[in-house]
Structure 1
Amino acid sequence: MKKIPRFNSCDLLNQEDLTQDFVIFDLQQILTQRNNIASVPHKHLFYQLLFITKGEGKHFIDFQTYHVKKGDLFFLNPGQVHKWDFNSSTNGFIINFTEDFISSFLSDNHFLDLLPFFSNTSNQDSILNIDNHYSTILNIFDKINFEIHLQKDTDLNLVRVYLLELFLLCKKHYFHTDNFSYNQLQPSNLVKQFEFLVEKHFYKLRFPKEYAELLCVTPNYLNSICQKIRGQSAGELIRSRILLESKRLLVNTDLSASEIAYKLSFKDNSYFSRFFKKHTGIAPDEYRKS
């Protein structure tokens, strides 16, 4: 059975080939030594940051294409399918880290889930261009790289502090560039919690009222906040996540439409086919061949 390649420990090895919860690579090193792996669709079991400091090319995340340029910073969740096609002069940094690397350091176990740029429901949130703060962000990556590779006694807690600094600066940049006001921060946080629950339960829970109950709000309030923050209702966000997974499975596996319907908890294949065609305009088998 054809499956999406899934990388775990192979991308969490340090220079001594020891498995770590955190690693940082020079992008040129990856392009030179392992570009054949990253240039095919794959997913990870860890979080990944990709920061472009030079060059150009294309980065494909699920079913969107990004033309990369200097200053682009990508945030990838575990499970997101991506590949890249960069020219040979492209440079930057790649950071891979496990959830435990951060959560073990913080009292808030959902810190990563509530960051606006780690989202599986909207790939548009997965990229920031930090032109105005390029030197500051580059300095953080340089400090992390120095601590990991050049210091005799690496202090991982210091690396965690640098990583948190990066996240908090990017969060501030995100809200500033999207013109969020102070009054919108609390509703935005609710939407992130909703998206976190959708990511966790979309295989089984399909209705806004089920998520509203988990969030202790009314379905109408959840819908209105999602519409205000995301431009889509709660139901549309749930359907978008199911549709994304459907496309991933159709394109990157050889599961039949019936098997995908069963995996996604549709009551039968015909119901899945109607759902898919309604939202894409074509049948699942046609989409697979396109």
Structure 2
Amino acid sequence: MNSDTIKISRITKKITSKQKEDCCVLCWVKNEVEALIINQQQYRNIANSIFFLGPELQWQILNNDHFTSNGYIIYLPKSILNNPIFKNLHINEVRFFSNGEIPKINLAPGIEKRIQAIIEMLDELVSTNLKNKEDAILALLKTLFIYCDGKCNIKSVITDNNARSALVYKFKKMVDQHISEFHKVSEYANLLHISNKYLNECVNDVLGVNAKSLIDEQLVMQSRHALKFTDRTVKEIAYDLGFSSPDYFSSFCKKHMGLAPSEFRRL
């Protein structure tokens, strides 16, 4: 593997496809850009989305902000992507469709920070001569693909205007923003002006799980992080996350994490 052929560029201005025939592109539009143009077709409203673009596509990103990074372009040679380390990942099967569809992944809220960290580590490794750096690069790429393949992300194609997918993504953003205030499906359904039943139907249709499981998953993620990486007391964490009492927080942790908060913190 020649890791020197991996290139990472920031989206800070207009970018036009230049890749070679043996090079594919992972495009993460982190913040809103003016438009993404693929084969003369223009797409808007694509913030927080990842696209996999094959070498046969002509594409261009229009970006008005020349000073702030609105995402990243990662150029990946096919020789790297064909490495056996990726063979069991579902994302490896769908990343480059042969029927003209362009894969699009709306990242689950909160995942952006992980993707950002992985890209920063990749860029750092590519520029070094560290021993075993190619193994580390493959491991990071695999982690990146695993995050892309996560069940909480909404996978579609760029031409998909599915109303249910859009609703579920809006719901997930609300959960990320209001998790310390609302823990019930009904509270989010009210914010979205729909019924609990319809919200559950949409989530199940798009992601194969119920709406409550997404709320609980966000609570588990926030709880784990606070217990492991902050010095706040269990009581403080419980109230910060919107639990009515430390005892209720403890029972939640036992049910979803297998341990009481104090036990998890000692791990």
Q: Say which structure is richer in helix.
A: 1
